[in-house]
Structure 1
Amino acid sequence: MSISQTAEYALRAVIRLAQQSDEAQTTQQLAEATLVPQSYLPKVLQPLARAGIVVAQRGSHGGYKLQADPAMLSVLDVVNCVDPVRKQDKCIGYDTVPEHRCGLHQLLDEVAAATQKRYRETTIQSLIEADDHVPPLCPAAKATVQTNDSDAATPTLR
């Protein structure tokens, strides 16, 4: 079970804001640190602001700050804000009550419930403080230009 790209972007932004809680982050700073397209960040940040998870500050030192307490903010809170995990309430094409769903749809519902439980139990703070020496965000990719005889001007990400 995976989340949408928008939900992942929202999590990346929230984690970064939690890491930089002392100062507001511009969309450019967030985009560079999280590898989220700068033009897409407003779509990600607006529902988070409406929910009170982040706050936008105007002015010369403006940008976005995390308003919610990262120790109380769950991954599920962030995901549900932008793209909720959906449960399979009935079999597609059939009017059935949840107790009479087919085995496939029962399984899909159980997986969604387990995913929601894990997301609910994981706070943003716990991701930042994880003691497994793995950073909570992937390092920024660096573009390098690789040339070859057939196409000398093609940049390649490494």
Structure 2
Amino acid sequence: MTRETDYAIRTVLYLSGRENYFAKAEDISKTMDIPKSFLRKILKQLEKQGLLRIKRGVSGGITLIKKPEEITLYDTIIAVEKNVALNRCVVNKTVCGFSSQCPVHPVWFKLRDRLIKALKEINFSGLISHGTVL
């Protein structure tokens, strides 16, 4: 998982714990220790994926479009990474000349399927209820 994905998860987690799922970018940046330049990029990706809305201006801020129980870790990871894979050959077989005879190659696919299933079962409402609301 990239740092960018970690920051995206922190962002959605923070918003999930806020009243009306709303916050200012500065508050997210400070509280979740996300550099502002990274946060802007992540917010755009999450907005493009339909997870949040960005309102600019003095009365602006960031709001989740969906409720925390409707947003999974999978949704957030896909917003940034575009796919889930444990190895690059799972995303593109042509990057490895051994894919056709590699005994580990099918294992990566099975593990990826299990990981995706698990990520789709974990929503932010559950994460908030099991941890401290920031």
Instruction: Name the TM-score class by shorter chain.
Output: 0.7 to 0.9
TM-score by length of 2: 0.83
The amino acid that maps onto 2:20 is D
The amino acid that maps onto 2:36 is Q
Describe how 1:3-18 pairs up with structure 2 within 5 A.
3-18=1-16
Equivalent residues of 1:18, 1:66 under 8 A apart: yes
Query: Which residue of 59, 63, 67 maps to 1:69?
Result: 67
Aligned to 1:93: 97
Per-residue CA deviations over 1:115-134 (Å, capped at 9, x if unaligned) read 1111011011110112xxx4
Describe how 1:4-153 pairs up with structure 2 within 5 A.
4-22=2-20, 24-83=22-81, 84-86=83-85, 88=90, 90=93, 92-94=96-98, 96=100, 102-130=102-130, 134-135=131-132
Q: Between Structure 1 and Structure 2, which shows a larger proportion of helix residues? A: 2
Equivalent residues of 1:24, 1:62 under 8 A apart: no
Per-residue CA deviations over 1:80-119 (Å, capped at 9, x if unaligned) read 01102137164721574xxxx5221122222222211110
**How many angstroms apart in 2 are the aligned matches of 1:135 and 1:111?**
30
Equivalent residues of 1:24, 1:57 under 8 A apart: no
Moved over 4 A (4+): none
The 1:73/1:67 distance shift into structure 2, 3 A limit, reads same
The amino acid that maps onto 1:29 is D
Alpha-carbon RMSD = 2.2
The 1:23/1:113 distance shift into structure 2, 3 A limit, reads closer
The 1:19/1:136 distance shift into structure 2, 3 A limit, reads closer
**How many angstroms apart in 1 are the aligned matches of 2:127 and 2:20?**
18
Unaligned runs of 5+ in 2: none
Equivalent residues of 2:99, 2:105 under 8 A apart: no
The amino acid that maps onto 1:54 is L
User: For the pair shown, which has the larger CA radius of gyration, 1 or 2?
Assistant: 1
Equivalent residues of 1:24, 1:61 under 8 A apart: no
TM-score by length of 1: 0.71
Equivalent residues of 1:48, 1:81 under 8 A apart: yes
